[in-house]
Structures are given as structure tokens and as C-alpha cells.
Homo-oligomer: A and B are copies of this chain.
Amino acid sequence: MTGVSSMRRLRGGIVGGGRGAFIGAVHRIAAELDGQSTVVAGALSSDPATARASAAAWGLARSYDTYQEMARAEAARSDGIEYVIVATPNHLHLPVARAFIECGIHVICDKPLALNAAEGEQFERLVTGGKPLFALTHPYSAYPTIRQARDMVAAGQLGQLRKVLVEYVQDWLMEPLENTGNKQAEWRSDPARSGDGGCIGDIGTHAAHLLEFVAGTRIEALCADLSSFVPGRRLDDDANMLLRLEGGGKGTLVCSQIACGEENHIRLRVYGSKGALDWSQLDANTLVHKPAGAPWQLLRTSAPYMGADARAGTRTPGGHPEGYLEAFANLYREFIEDVRRVQAGLPPRRNYPGVAEGVRGLRFIAAAVASSRNDSRWTRV
């Protein structure tokens, strides 16, 4: 054997995401995918038995009954976690993040940031200026094809932006699942745990972020029509919006969790005066470029003509499809690089969504709710 002074894997922890939660395993896989980090500790559920069983199933070294205990104990250990994943329902994002940040531990957190804009501003004060890093997991913006799209728009390849069409449609809430014991559906349709937005918070914010990320501009105002199609549901399960963008673009944003037959379909189209882009997660490794007067071009993940940012987030040669977990892992890759930079005394690059994007998402939710309650009037975001 030859001694190796290798790149050490960082130690991560996770709060929430235990058995029955979809997103916990996604975070763990994404955090570890590039071999730069291992999740070693967790408070995986508010139910201690579930927490322990989940931790055992994942082979975690340490399981905690509460996130408070976890934050204190891990901060005290010499081999304690260096960052924590927050994968709880929305109402716990802020208290959990606070507990760890106050212990000096970096945080990567699910979206939406918080229950509402006021809470989001608390979050902003908590995070801004502090030493611990804060990342928000909008994974769709980390697909190589989406990075390519953003770079093409920024480079002016589309000319002046005119029209944007973004949609995110699912069908998993087309029945009153929240009344059947489904925990995912329960908290997502409970204003106390989910905030003011149902569908618009859960997936509408992804759509809004993706749009602003690629377009390089912001939603200035919107006209929203929110619905709850399933009888008795307390939050919106469907929304249609008109958009006006800073810089003069216009468009629509559509999201739904009652769109029968749609698994998890997020799509973005951006039209400019010289070209257009079209991307759908159904074919996530292809970015369709529609230059004026010329044939459509299919830009593919990992191809040699892709830009640097797209290629940095690619792990296999062309034609070996990469998916959602790999996109999610791209966020972690950049977050973990930043953790290493901060540990080495270097300034972070922050090439991932953070608290500003989180607050923006909450303002989007607030504007949509306000507009819808006000007869769909134009409302500034």
C-alpha cells in the first residue's frame, strides 16, 4: 500500500427526510454522489423510533431524537458534521437552520425557504453576514442543459427577451390524499406547516426560480388565479398566472398538482428576438435551440460544444442519460466546494441558490396569493 493524503470526504448531517419521506434519500444520494461527502448523523424524524430506524437503514453513525440535541452535540465533537441538510416540512426550515447556524454549521435547505415573507426576512437576517454558508435546493437549475440555457441567454444568443412560458404540472394530489394518512400530502395541504402556498409553494417556486435563473431577469408583476379543485383542500392545488418581467418580457406560469396523468413535468420556453430555447424535464438531457430562420438544434448534455458550466456538471459521456439525482448532486458539488473553500479561508463562490432566492420565492408566493384574492389584479412581486 502507498499512503494517500487524499481529499477527505466531508461529514454531513440531515434533519428530516426519514422513512416515508421522498426527499430525504434524494438529499443523501446527491450529497454523496461525487464521493466528496458522507452523511454520518441525522435527526431523521420527529418520531424517535422512525428516526432511529431510518438512520440504521442508511448506515448513519449517529442518530438524534431532536435537531436541537443534534446541533449541540455535533458542534461539540471534533469529528462532528460540517454541514447539515434541512429536509423537514416548511415550518421547521427556519428553526432548524437557526439551530445549526448558531452552532457554526453550514446549512443546505429545501425550498420554499419559510412559511411566509416575514419569516423569510428573519431568515435573511439570520444568514446574511454570518459565516456559515446557506444553500437552497432548487435542483432543476443545476441540470447541465439548464446551465447551458442560462449561459446562452446571458451571452445574448436569444436577443431581447419577449416571451416566457413556464409550467410545472403533477397529478399526485388529484384526490384528497391528505385525508388518507399520507404524511407528504398532510403537511403540504396544511397552512400551519406549509405556509400560504400549496401547489405554488411546493412547485410553483421551482418554476419561478427556473424562469428567473435562465432568463436572467425577474418577474416584475403577476396576475394569478389560484384554485383548490379537490373539495375540502385548504391550500391551492392549481394555479395559472400572467407574468410581466423586468425588461419588458411577458408570459405565463402554470402549475398544478391535479393535472391528471402528469408525473412531474417541468418545462421552460424562452423566446427572444433572435432565438428561443425549450427545455423539458421529460427529456432533460436535451436543450432545444430555435434560432431565427434556421433549423432547430438539439443541444445535448456532455457534448463537446456545451459550455464550461454545463460540462462541469456532467459525469458520463454523451448518450448515457443523467437524471434528477445527478442534477441535485450538482448543487451539492458546488455547495461542498464552497464548504472546502471556507474551511481553507477562501471566499465562497456561491454558485447555487441561497437566501436571496429563497426570499424571492416567498415574495412570489405572497404576490400570487394576494393577486388571486384580489380578483387576479396585477400585483408586484
Contacts and interface: CB of A to CB of B under 8 A. Distances in A.
A256 interface: yes
Report which residue of A8, A254, A300 has the largest number of chain B beta carbons within 10 angstroms of its beta carbon: A254
Contacts of A303: 263, 295
A348 interface: no
Nearest to A253: B252
Interface stretch (A99-107, A125-133, A185-193, A315-323): A315-323
Contacts of A162: 229, 238, 258, 260
Given A252-B252, A305-B295, A321 B319 contact: no
Contacts of A172: 317
Given A35-B28, A261-B291, A325 B317 contact: no
A55 B1 CA distance: 12
Report which residue of A39, A48, A261 has the largest number of chain B beta carbons within 10 angstroms of its beta carbon: A261
Interface stretch (A111-119, A207-215, A282-290, A357-365): A282-290
Contacts of A298: 295-298
B376 A300 contact: no
A2 B238 contact: no
Nearest to A277: B261
A162 B36 CA distance: 44
B324 A322 contact: yes
Contacts of A271: 256, 258-261
Interface string A223-254: 10101010000000010111110000011101
A75 interface: no
A293 interface: yes
Contacts of A241: 242
Contacts of A22: 316-317
Contacts of A47: none
Report which residue of A4, A174, A274, A282 has the largest number of chain B beta carbons within 10 angstroms of its beta carbon: A4
A320 B254 contact: no
Contacts of A258: 162-163, 271
B62 A4 contact: yes
